[in-house]
Structure 1
Amino acid sequence: MTVLRLLCVCVLGWTVFSWANLQLRDYPRVDSDDLLRVRLPRLVQLAYSTGDPWLAANLNVFRSIVADGHTREKENYRVQGQLQMDAAFFNPLHEDNYYLAAAMLPWNGQVEAGQDVLLRASNARQWDMWPAFYYAFNAMYFERDMAKAGQWAEIAATRNPRNAPALRAMASAWYERGDDPRVAMEILEKMFEDSRDENFRALVSARYRRLQGLLALREAVADYRSRHGGTPRQIEQLIGYGALQALPDDPLGAGYVLDAGGQVQLADHMTKQKQQ
Structure 2
Amino acid sequence: MIIYKYWQQLTTLWQKAAFLWGAFFILFNAYCFFWRHLIAGGQYQFIDSQIFWLKEWGALCTLNIVLVAFVDLKARINSNLFVFVIMCAVTICSLVMLRIFVDYSFYGYAIAASFIQLLPKYLIACCLVLALWRVCSMSLLSKAKQDKPEKGLSEYIEINHKGVVKRLTPESVLFIKAAGNYVEIQTLTECFLKRDTIKNIQAHLPCNEFKQVHRSYLVNLAYIEDFNLHKANATLQMKLGFSIPVSKTFKPALANVLSEPSTFVTE
TM-score by length of 1: 0.24
TM-score by length of 2: 0.25
Structure with greater Cα Rg:
2
Structure number having the greater strand percentage: 2
Structure number having the greater helix percentage: 1
